[in-house]
Structure 1
Amino acid sequence: MAQNFQVDLRGMIDLLSEHLYEGPQVFLRELMQNGVDAIRARALLEPKHVGALQLEVSRVDGVPTITFFDNGVGLTQPEIHEFLSTIARSSKRGRQEFIGQFGIGLLACFVVSERIEVLTRSARSEDAEPLQWLGQSSGEYAIGVVNERLEVGARVQLQAKAGREEFFEFENVVAWCAHFGALLPYPVEVRRLEDGRVVENIVVNAEGAPWRREFSSHNAKRQAMLDFGRRTLEVDGLDAFELRSEAGDVQGVAVVLPFTPGLEARGRHRAYLKNMLLSDACDNLVPSWAFFVKCVLNADGLRPNAARNAFYEDAALLEARDRIGDGLRAYLIGLAERDPNALRRIIDLHYLSIKALAGEDDEFLKLFAPWLPFETSLGTMTLPEIQERSRAVRFVSDRSLFRQVAPIAAASGQAIIHAIYAYDEAVLQGYARLHPDVPLERLDADTVAGELGEVGADVLAQTADLRRVANEVLLSFQCEARLSSFAPSELVALYLPRGGTFMRDLRRTKEQVKGLWSDVLGDLETPLPIGVADAELHLNWRNPLVGRLAHLSDQSVLKRVIGMLYVQALLLGHHPLRLEEMRLLNEGLIEMIGWGLPQTAVALN
Structure 2
Amino acid sequence: MSNTFQVDLRGIVDLLSHHLYASPRVYVRELLQNAVDAITAVGPDHAGAVAITSADATGDGTLRISDNGIGLTEAQVHELLATIGRSSKRDELGFARHEFLGQFGIGLLSCFLVADEIRVHTRREGAAPVLWTGFSDGRYEVRPGPEREAGTTVTLLPRRGAEHFLTGTTVVELATVYGSLLPVAVTVDDRTVTTGVLPWQLPPAGRMAYAQETLGFRPFDVIELNVPGAGLTGAAFVLPTPVNPASRGGHRVYLKRMLLSENVEGLLPEWAFFARCVVDSSELRPTASREALYDDGMLAETRDAIADQLRGWLVRLAATDPHQLGEFLRIHHLGVKALALHDDEMLRLVEQWFPMQTNMGEVTLAEFRSRHGVLRYAATADEFRQLAAVAAAQDVGLINGGYVYDAELIERLAATDPEVRVERLDPTDLTTRFVPLDTEVELRLRPFLAAAQRRLDRLGCEVVVRAFDPVTLPSLYLVSRAAAFHDEFTASRDEADDLWGGVLDALSRTVPADRPQLVLNHRNPLVRRVAALGDAELAGLAVESLYGQALMLGHHPIRPSDAALLTTSFLGLLDRAVPGEENR
TM-score range with shorter-chain normalisation? 0.7 to 0.9
Aligned to 2:550: 569
> Do the aligned residues in 2 keep the contact of 1:493 with 1:566 (CA within 8 Å)?
yes
Give the 4+ runs in structure 1 shifted more than 6 A.
60-63, 505-511, 518-527
Aligned-residue offset at 1:358:
3.7
- 1:314–1:444 distance in 2 versus 1, CA, 3 Å: farther
Is the alpha carbon distance of 1:265 and 1:175 closer, same or farther for their aligned partners in structure 2, counting shifts above 3 Å?
farther
**Matches for 1:464-479 after TM superposition, within 5 Å:** 464-468=446-450, 470-472=452-454, 474-475=456-457, 477-479=459-461
User: Residues 120 and 338 of structure 1: is their aligned pair in 2 closer, same or farther, counting only changes over 3 Å?
Assistant: same
State the match for 2:88 in structure 1: 91
Deviations 1:50-84 (A, max 9, x none): 33333222248977543223333333334333433
1:48 positional shift: 1.2
Aligned equivalent of 1:121: 123
Unaligned runs of at least 5 residues, structure 2: 1-5
Tell me whether 369-378 or 301-310 shows the greater mean CA deviation. 301-310
Letter in 1 for 2:50: L
Question: Which AA in structure 2 matches 1:256?
Answer: V
Q: Is the 8 A contact 1:6 1:85 kept in 2?
A: no
CA-CA distance at 1:38 after TM superposition:
2.9
Aligned partner of 2:72 in structure 1 is 75
Separation (CA, whole Å) in 2 of partners of 1:310 and 1:451: 61
Instruction: Tell me if 1:13 matches 2:14.
Output: yes
How big is the shift at 1:572? 3.2
Given the superposition, is the C-alpha separation of residues 594 and 306 from structure 1 closer, same or farther in structure 2, using an over 3 Å criterion?
Answer: farther
Comparing 582-591 with 297-306, greater Cα deviation is found at 582-591
Residue identity over aligned pairs, in percent, reads 36
Residue 185 of structure 1, aligned match among 183, 186, 193 = 183
Instruction: Find the counterpart in structure 2 of residue 382 from structure 1.
Output: 364
Q: Deviations 1:18-75 (Å, cap 9, x if unpaired)?
A: 5x433221222222233333333x14xx231133333222248977543223333333
Cα 1:87–1:374 change in 2 (3 A) is same
User: Aligned-pair distance for 1:264?
Assistant: 4.3
Give the whole-Å Cα distance in 2 for the aligned partners of 1:590 and 1:158: 84
Give the equivalent residue in structure 1 for 2:169.
171
Q: Which residue is equivalent to 1:216? A: none
- Supply the distance in 2 between the matched residues of 1:335 and 1:311 (Cα, whole angstroms): 31
Of the two, which has the highest radius of gyration?
2
Q: Which residue of 1 aligns with 2:3?
A: none
Q: How many residues align?
A: 570
Q: Distance in 2 between matches of 1:103 and 1:521?
A: 65
Please say if residues 506 and 521 of structure 1, whose CA atoms lie closer than 8 Å, have aligned partners that are also in contact: no
Q: How does 1:399-478 map to 2 (within 5 A)?
A: 399-421=381-403, 423-429=405-411, 431-432=413-414, 436-468=418-450, 470-472=452-454, 474-475=456-457, 477-478=459-460
Aligned to 2:154: 156
Residue 244 of structure 1 and its aligned partner are, at CA, apart by 0.6
| SS, match of residue 178 in structure 1 | helix
Decide which moves more: 589-598 or 271-280. 589-598
SS at match of 1:99: coil
Corresponding residue to 1:542 among 504, 523, 526: 523
Q: Is the 8 A contact 1:267 1:286 kept in 2?
A: no
Shift of 1:452: 4.4
* Aligned ranges 1:304-315 → 2 under 5 Å: 304-306=286-288, 308-315=290-297
1:131 is aligned to 2:130: yes
Does structure 2 conserve the Cα–Cα contact (< 8 Å) formed by 1:480 and 1:537?
yes
- Closer/same/farther in 2, CA of residues 332 and 310 from structure 1, 3 Å limit: same
Match of 1:272, SS state, is strand
| Gap change, CA 1:597 and 1:286, over 3 Å in 2 | same
Q: Residues 389 and 114 of structure 1: is their aligned pair in 2 closer, same or farther, counting only changes over 3 Å?
A: same
Distance 1:595 1:264 in 2: 55
- Provide the TM-score with structure 2 as the length reference: 0.83
1:208 matches 2:197: yes
CA spacing shift, 1:363–1:33, aligned 2, 3 Å = same
Correspondence for 2:336 among 341, 351, 354: 354
User: What's the CA shift for 1:404?
Assistant: 0.9
Question: In the aligned structure 1, how far is the partner of 2:235 from the partner of 2:512?
Answer: 65
Distance 1:372 1:506 in 2: 37
Unmatched 5+ stretches in structure 1? 192-197, 214-219
Cα deviation, residue 400, structure 1: 1.5
Whole-angstrom CA distance in 2 between matches of 1:491 and 1:118: 87
SS in 1 for 2:137: coil
What secondary structure is seen at the aligned counterpart in 2 of 1:263?
A: coil
- The CA distance in 2 between the partners of 1:78 and 1:521, in whole Å, is 80
Corresponding residue number in structure 1 for 2:228:
246
Contact 1:133–1:141, Cα closer than 8 Å, also in 2: yes
Mapped to 2, the partners of 1:243 and 1:298 lie a distance apart of: 10
Length-normalised TM-score, structure 1: 0.81
